[in-house]
């Protein structure tokens, strides 16, 4: 029986995280679920993000995943804590869910020399203030400002991110972010879709500002977690398989996914 690591995102963005995880930990089996039929989550309410995420997590646990990574900042910010507190022990005893915010906030302070960090994220992630709260815990002397970038996920999901329209919004959001704090030397891409536009973002920034994507950070943190949690690691099957599922059309998923994943994928449709 396969007991894969589940990786969830509202759509395609989590594929950028899955890519880095499988690069670092190729021995395991993986199952990816994109809730493309209901993406993006970025502007949705807490209740809706919680409800959708719980449904997806429930499906992944039913596929025998001992552990799920919420490779979506919006879901990590708006649903993870509630699921961990209210649902995990009751409905899925012994199972674990990890998000992408904690591993990132643990180390982001180490990257900044000025101790001024900028966050680019969806509306939902910004409103949750999760990054402000978590970074405060790990590097209290780091000043953090946030910029909501609501147009970026739709542009990326619709493959309209390498044109003047995308450049316009990227420039606008960067200008607004730097206007809040001109000492920022580190910008965190706190949305799993944004690695696709990392180069465009860098194009509009002074050379001394570094841009950080989460994939490698999350992969390193997962490796460390599995070393510390033998009871989970030993449950994971190790056949190097990766399965992809989407709540929307599998054909469409296959057409778009390679931009995020860097290679062709063959997904199946799932009805939740």
191 is known as an active-site residue: yes
Catalytic residue among 56, 65, 72, 149: 72
- Range 217-255 burial, b when 16+ CB lie within 10 A, else e: bbbbbbeebbeeeeebeebbbeeeebbbbbbbebeebbe
Decide if 222 contacts 153 (C-beta within 8 A): no
User: Applying CB under 6 A, which part among 4-12, 136-144, 203-211, 220-228 lies near ligand DGL?
Assistant: 4-12
Ramachandran category for residue 212: left, alpha or beta (phi over 0 → left; psi -120 to 50 → alpha): beta
Rounded CA separation 173/166 (Å): 11
**Active-site residue (options: 56, 65, 149, 191):** 191
> From the list 3, 36, 125, 221, which residue makes contact with ligand DGL (rule: CB under 6 A)?
125
- Among 5, 6, 8, 13, which residue sits at the site for ligand DGL (rule: CB under 6 A)? 13
Give, as ranges, the residues between 66 and 105 that touch ligand DGL (CB under 6 A): 72-74
Among 6, 11, 12, 183, smallest CA distance to 95 is for 6
Which CB, 10 or 186, lies closer to ligand DGL?
Answer: 10
Residue 193 C-beta: closest distance to ligand DGL, Å: 5
The residue length of the chain stands at 272
Could you tell me how many residues of this chain bind ligand DGL (CB under 6 A)? 17
**Are residues 250 and 268 in contact, defined by beta-carbon separation less than 8 angstroms?**
yes
Residues 146-175 that bind ligand DGL (CB under 6 A): 153
Smallest separation (angstroms) from ligand DGL to the CB of 17: 9
Cis amide prior to 83 (ω within 30 degrees): no
Instruction: Please report whether residue 191 would count as binding ligand DGL according to CB under 6 A.
Output: yes
Rank residues 42 and 103 by Cβ distance to ligand DGL and give the closer one.
42
Q: Which of residues 15-54 bind ligand DGL (CB under 6 A)?
A: 39-42
CA dist 98 to 7, 57, 68, Å?
10, 11, 6
Catalytic residue positions? Answer: 72, 191
Binding stretches for ligand DGL (CB under 6 A): 9-11, 13, 39-42, 72-74, 122, 125, 153, 191-193
């Amino acid at each position: 029986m396969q007991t894969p690591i589940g990786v969830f995102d509202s759509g395609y963005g989590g594929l950028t995280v899955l890519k880095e995880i499988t690069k670092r930990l190729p021995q395991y089996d993986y199952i990816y679920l994109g809730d493309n039929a209901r993406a993006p989550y970025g502007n949705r309410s807490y209740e809706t993000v919680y409800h959708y995420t719980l449904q997806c997590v429930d499906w992944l646990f039913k596929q025998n995943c001992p552990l799920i990574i919420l490779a979506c900042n919006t879901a990590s910010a708006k649903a993870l804590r509630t699921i961990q507190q209210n649902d995990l022990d009751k409905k899925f005893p012994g199972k674990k869910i990890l998000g992408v915010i904690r591993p990132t906030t643990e180390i982001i302070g180490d990257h900044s020399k000025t101790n001024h960090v900028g966050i680019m994220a969806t509306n939902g992630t910004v409103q949750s203030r999760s990054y402000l709260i978590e970074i405060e815990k790990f590097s209290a002397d780091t000043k953090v400002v946030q910029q909501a970038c609501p147009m970026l996920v739709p542009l990326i999901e619709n493959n309209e991110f390498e044109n003047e329209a995308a450049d316009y919004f990227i420039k606008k959001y960067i200008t607004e972010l730097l206007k809040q704090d001109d000492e920022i030397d580190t910008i965190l891409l706190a949305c799993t879709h944004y690695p696709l536009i990392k180069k465009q973002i860098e194009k509009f920034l002074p050379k001394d500002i570094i841009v950080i994507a989460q994939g490698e950070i999350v992969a390193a943190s997962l490796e460390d977690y599995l070393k510390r949690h033998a009871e989970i690691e030993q449950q994971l099957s190790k056949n190097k398989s990766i399965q992809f599922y989407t709540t929307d059309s599998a054909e469409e998923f296959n057409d778009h996914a390679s931009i995020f994943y860097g290679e062709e994928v063959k997904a199946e449709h799932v009805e939740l």
